[in-house]
Copies of this chain bind each other. A is one copy, B any other.
Amino acid sequence: MYDAVIIGAGPAGISAAINLKLLGKNFLWVASEPTSLKAARAELIKNYPGLPDVTGEQLCWALKNHAESMGARLTDGVATGVFDTVGKYSVLVGDESYDTRTVILCTGVVTSKPLKGESEFLGRGVSYCAVCDGFLYKGKTICAVIYDKKFEREAEYLCSLAHAVYVLPMYKNCNISAQNARFVDGKPLEISGGLRAETLKTSSTSVSADGFFVLRASVAPATLVKGIETEGGRIIADRKCATNLAGVFAAGDCTGAPYQYAKAVGEGNVAAHSAAEYIDGVK
């Protein structure tokens, strides 16, 4: 049982990890990217106090190095679900489930909205994780919507299992070499079906399959954590970074504007302290 699971490795997640280390807590730190790619892409940052005129890459490097120098280790993986399991939470990462007293969400801004029907059919033909659920579709037909190049390996894995895989890449120059991969045109619109998901409608066609994999780096907060209160896609958190769910905290861009490094780092600090207080109270 972990004291905390931190999801995300942007400035908020890094700050939370640094502080939980200092506070002597036993935590899992999981993220689908080694540091936030969005943060690293900034050309010049003038308002991170103490480090004037750094590039996004330099700042991310400094933040990441700081966390590593304190012994905080990042686990590579996409958290796909957080479930309340009576007095604790279970966090699903790939095909593993981790028990924890608290969760600190530092998931950033999710730019892609969930597809219509995606949440509804999750676990009933819709999956976020090829490694976890791929085997269910051995010799069958799969449809995979891929939001990032780095999921191509997972898609290849699906191809190795399935009879055929319909692939909808949401970016240019998708490179999947499997013979049974069939590229589909158009923008994905809606997953529909009966008891289970059956069809994905796109802007130009319709694809029938046995299983649908939606492979993206982060899952919308409301999909990731059942019952969490959001507004306009942002998690509602108070000044202590507490959400409506006891033991679940949120920090950084996922809590809304201003989308700023200093704000994210400040909230990561506050969330870690709030989580520690909560853990010490619960123990």
Contacts and interface: CB of A to CB of B under 8 A. Distances in A.
Interface of A: 11, 14-15, 18-19, 22, 46-52, 59, 62-63, 65-67, 69-70, 237-239, 255, 257-258, 260, 262-270, 273
A269 B257 CA distance: 11
A266 B273 contact: no
Contacts of A52: 65-66, 69-70
B48 A50 contact: yes
Contact of A51 (B51, B258, B260): B51
A46 B59 CA distance: 17
Contact of A269 (B63, B255, B260): B260
With most chain B CB atoms within 10 A of its CB, the pick from A49, A255, A257 is A49
Contact of A239 (B48, B49, B239, B260): B239
Contact of A238 (B66, B69, B239): B239
Given A266-B265, A266-B267, A47 B69 contact: no
A19 B47 contact: yes
Contact of A14 (B49, B67, B257): B49
A67 B258 CA distance: 20
Contacts of A70: 46, 52
B66 A59 contact: no
A150 B51 CA distance: 31
Contacts of A51: 50-51, 62, 66
Nearest to A59: B50
A17 B212 CA distance: 50
With most chain B CB atoms within 10 A of its CB, the pick from A11, A69, A265 is A265
Nearest 10 Cβ contacts at the A-B interface:
A266-B266, A262-B269, A50-B62, A258-B273, A52-B66, A263-B266, A15-B49, A49-B265, A49-B63, A262-B266
17 contacts: A11-B49, A14-B49, A18-B46, A19-B47, A49-B63, A50-B62, A50-B66, A51-B66, A237-B239, A239-B255, A258-B269, A262-B266, A262-B268, A262-B269, A263-B266, A265-B265, A266-B269
Nearest to A23: B47
A19 B262 CA distance: 10
A104 B262 CA distance: 17
A245 B239 CA distance: 18
With most chain B CB atoms within 10 A of its CB, the pick from A238, A266, A273 is A266
Given A15-B262, A19-B47, A262-B268, 7 more contacts: A18-B46, A22-B46, A46-B70, A49-B67, A49-B265, A52-B65, A265-B266
